Chains A and B, each alone.
Chain A
Amino acid sequence: MTPPTEPTPGGTVLSVRGLCVRFEMRDGSYVRAVTDASFDLAAGECLALVGESGCGKSVLASALLGLLPANASVAGSAVLGDAGSGAGGLDLLAADERVLAREVRGRRVGLVPQSPVAHLTPVRTVRSHLDETVRALTGTSGPDGVRAAAGRAAFPEDHLDRHPHQLSGGLAQRAATALALVGDASLLLADEPTTGLDRDLVERTVDELRRHTGDHRALLLITHDLAAAGRIADRVAVMYAGRLVEITDAAAFFGAPGPRHPYARGLLNALPERDFAPVPGLPPELGALPEGCAFAPRCDRASEACATVPELTSGVACHHVAVARA
Chain B
Amino acid sequence: MADTATTSGKTEVWRTRAVVRRSTRAWRVRGSAAVVLVLVLAVLLVPPFAQLDQQAVDLTAKLRPPSWAHPFGTDDVGRDLLLRCVYGLRVSLLVGVVAAVVATVVGTAVGALAGALGGWPDRLLMRLVDVFASVPHLLLGIFIVAMFRPGVWPVVVSVALTHWLSTARIVRAEVLSLRSRPYVDAAISGGASRHRVAVRHLLPGVLPQAGLAAVLMVPHAVWHESALSFLGLGLPTHQASLGTLVQSARGSLLAGDWWPTLFPGLCAVVATLAIAGLAGAWRERLNPRRRSELML
Contact = CB atoms under 8 A, between A and B. Distances in A.
Interface stretch (A19-27, A146-154, A273-281): A19-27
A74 to B, nearest CB: 6
A140 interface: no
A97 B21 CA distance: 14
A139 B111 CA distance: 50
B295 A59 contact: yes
Given A33-B294, A53-B296, A68 B22 contact: no
Given A18-B10, A26-B293, A70 B19 contact: yes
B21 A70 contact: yes
A73 B5 CA distance: 12
Nearest to B10: A18
A70 B296 contact: no
A137 B45 CA distance: 63
Interface residues of B, number: 16
B296 to A, nearest CB: 4
Contacts of B13: 75
Main secondary structure on chain A at its contact with chain B? mixed
B161 to A, nearest CB: 36
Given A33-B294, A59-B295, A76 B22 contact: no
A8 interface: no
B17 interface: yes
Given A23-B294, A31-B294, A33-B296, A70 B18 contact: yes
Contacts of B295: 23, 33, 58-59, 62, 68-69, 72
Given A54-B296, A97-B17, A70 B22 contact: yes
Nearest to A287: B294
Contacts of A75: 12-15
A2 interface: no
Contacts of B19: 70
Contact of B16 (A20, A54, A58, A73): A73
Contacts of A70: 16-19, 21-22
Interface in A47-87: 53-54, 56, 58-59, 62, 66, 68-76
Contacts of A74: 14-16
B56 to A, nearest CB: 50
Interface in A32-52: 33
A59 B293 contact: no
A156 B17 CA distance: 41
Please classify the interface of chain B as helix (H, G, I), strand (E, B), loop, or mixed, using the class held by over half of its residues.
Answer: mixed
Contacts of A33: 294-296
A136 interface: no
Contacts of B18: 70
A31 B295 CA distance: 11
B75 to A, nearest CB: 49
B8 interface: yes
Contacts of B14: 20, 22, 73-75
A309 interface: yes
Contacts of A72: 16-17, 295
Interface in B8-33: 8, 10, 12-19, 21-22
A172 interface: no
A97 B15 CA distance: 13
Contacts of B16: 70, 72-74
A286 B294 contact: yes
A94 interface: yes
B292 to A, nearest CB: 9
A73 B15 contact: yes
Contacts of A53: 296
Interface string B99-128: 000000000000000000000000000000
A93 interface: yes
Given A18-B10, A20-B12, A70-B22, A58 B17 contact: no
B65 to A, nearest CB: 47
Given A66-B17, A97-B17, A71 B296 contact: no
Interface in A4-26: 18, 20, 22-26
Contacts of B12: 18, 20, 75-76
Nearest to B290: A69
Contacts of B22: 70-71
Interface in B276-296: 293-296
Contacts of A54: 296
B76 to A, nearest CB: 53
Q: Which of A20, A31, A53, A75 is packed against the most chain B CB atoms within 10 Å?
A: A75
B8 A309 contact: yes
Nearest to A53: B296
* Most chain A CB inside 10 Å of its own CB: which residue of B8, B17, B18: B17
Closest 3 CB pairs of A and B: A73-B16, A75-B12, A73-B14
Interface of B: 8, 10, 12-19, 21-22, 293-296
Given A18-B10, A74-B14, A75-B13, 20 more contacts: A20-B14, A23-B294, A25-B294, A31-B294, A33-B294, A33-B295, A58-B296, A59-B295, A66-B17, A69-B293, A70-B16, A70-B17, A70-B19, A70-B21, A71-B22, A72-B17, A74-B16, A75-B15, A97-B17, A309-B8
15 contacts: A18-B12, A23-B295, A26-B293, A33-B294, A33-B295, A54-B296, A58-B295, A68-B17, A69-B295, A70-B22, A74-B14, A75-B13, A75-B14, A75-B15, A93-B15
